[in-house]
Amino acid sequence: MDTKTLMEWSAKYHTPNYGRTPLVLVRGEGTRVWDSDGKEYLDFTTGIAVTGLGHCHPVVTGAIREAAATLLHVSNIFHNAPQVHLAKLLVEHSFADRVFFCNSGAEANEAALKVVRKYAKENLATDRYEVIATNNSFHGRTLATVSATGQPKYHHGFEPLMPGFKHVPYNDLRAMERAMDSHTAAILVEPLQGEGGVNIPDDGYLPGLRKLCDESGALLVFDEVQTGVGRTGKLWAYEHSGVEPDVMTLAKALANGIPIGAMLCRERVASALTAGSHGSTFAGSAFVTSVALATLTTVIGDKLPQRAAERGRELMDGLRTLQKTQPVIKEVRGLGLLIGVELTKPAAPVMDACRDAGLLVLTAGEKVVRLAPPLIVDSADCKRALDILGSALSAGAK
Ligand SMILES: Cc1ncc(COP(=O)(O)O)c(C=O)c1O
């Protein structure tokens, strides 16, 4: 099938909800992908922070092959060994005591929202159901998670939204404190906002939220769907803050591209999820948990968070050097390999120019170019990305 026909059929047969780049990607290996014309690209999008180990990592491919030939799926009315091993590994390497598996980031947040409501009603007060989230946040596309999301552009047309959510400015402890009342069941935040523009809070923000929750009995939920699994230079982004949440959600990079989500929580919170109270058909299948187990074991064993921190520093140093000659760069911010380059002009044309020159990057909001390379990226690829981005920025400045 030729590329032109594929794109015509895509436009004809898909619902039109994605603004797609005019590329058909056919193959990936490590930090590279190739399009249907054979053109090679350096992939600094990683499926939006998903393929942390790069494309077709041999350990992941091996786990997929083996799991596919052993056991794909059995219901959660039975036990399956890889699911148990993955839960144990997650618990051993995080604050959490218990894990609930699901299939996406939105579902992980749905599970978190359900568990905090049930926990608060049963343990605090029957009218404690409200979740306070933040402006510019992103938590998913289901009706509950889109209601939790603090960006009106994702709400339009889907109203009435789910009741039980409030939004306050991100990184504003006083606003959070003012918003909390006798109905507050939980605070839900990203330790650093990804989709909202790669926004990093002040050092005191997450500890301050922890304190507010401790004082009021509300639960602290960190959405680490984008920031988890090594992306920010620690296994979990909350480790930068010195405080731990009561609930954490994961998805994206956990199985390097095979759909999975997870909601991790403390024992007392988990106890609200009594038998039959929540579940999912596909969740935590032997297949996906085998792949996640291989992924997480590699991320931890190969010390990839540390590597992400080092490469992230190199990239950010390079971007700040670029900023000196490129006044179009307003600010460079990031943690590890989740980096935002805020421009004084729209980011989309820069993204397009990078693509034409062989580098795939993301945007986050209108004016932020977002870089999310795989954790395995090396210094030479970072240098190449900086060269391409620099040229794209100077071409646009003329
Ligand atoms: C922080 C955060 N939470 C939740 C989600 C939703 O995840 P999914 O698209 O897997 O439902 C995303 C997706 O970008 C995200 O970045």
- Binding site membership of 50 for ligand 1 (Cβ less than 6 Å): no
Report the pLDDT value the prediction gives residue 395, as an integer from 0 to 100. Answer: 85
Q: How far apart are CA 136 and CA 167, in angstroms?
A: 9
How many angstroms is it from 234 CA to the middle of ligand 1?
19
Dist. CA 323 → ligand 1 center (Å): 30
- Kindly state if the Cβ of 251 falls inside 6 Å of ligand 1: yes
Instruction: For ligand 1, pick from 138, 232, 249, 338 the residue to mutate: most ligand atoms within 8 Å of CB.
Output: 138
Specify whether the CB–CB gap between 376 and 32 falls below 8 A: no
* CA gap 312, 49 in Å, rounded: 14
The amino acid occupying position 14 is H
Ligand 1 pocket test: pick from 139, 190, 256, 362 the residue with the most ligand atoms within 8 Å of its Cβ. 139
What does the alpha-carbon distance between residue 211 and residue 314 come to, in Å, rounded to a whole number? 34
Residue 111: CB within 6 Å of ligand 1? no
Does the model's pTM come out above 0.95?
Answer: yes
**How distant is the alpha carbon of residue 12 from its chain centre?**
30
**Beta strand segments in the chain, E:** 25-29, 32-35, 40-43, 98-102, 130-134, 165-168, 184-189, 219-223, 247-250, 261-265, 329-335, 338-343, 359-360, 362-363, 368-371
Q: Does the beta carbon of 144 lie inside 6 Å of ligand 1? A: no
Cβ of 222 less than 6 Å from ligand 1:
no
User: Which residue numbers in the chain have pLDDT < 50?
Assistant: 397-398
Question: What is the DSSP pairing of strand 98-102 with strand 261-265?
Answer: antiparallel
Ligand 1 atom 3 nearest Cα = 139
Question: In this predicted model, what pLDDT tens digit does every residue of 17-71 receive, in sequence order?
Answer: 999 999 999 999 999 999 999 999 999 999 999 999 999 999 999 999 999 999 9
For the chain, give me the number of helices (H) and strands (E)? 13, 15
Q: For ligand 1, is residue 104 a contact (CB within 6 Å)?
A: yes
Give distance in angstroms: CA of 249 to centre of ligand 1.
10
Q: Mapping DSSP to helix (H, G, I), strand (E, B) and coil, where does residue 189 land?
A: strand
DSSP for 286-320, written as a single string: HHHHHHHHHHHHHHHHTTHHHHHHHHHHHHHHHHH
In the reported structure, the alpha carbon of residue 47 is separated from the centroid of ligand 1 by a whole-number distance in angstroms of 12
Cβ neighbours of residue 25 under 8 Å, at least 6 residues apart? 33, 34, 35, 36
Indicate whether residue 225 lines ligand 1 (CB < 6 A).
yes
Ligand 1 atom at shortest distance from the alpha carbon of 259? 10
With a CB cutoff of 8 Å and minimum separation 6, the contacts of 225 are 105, 108, 109, 139, 140, 249, 250, 251, 252, 261
Q: Which pLDDT score, from 0 to 100, does residue 396 have? A: 67
CA of 289 to the centre of ligand 1 (A): 19
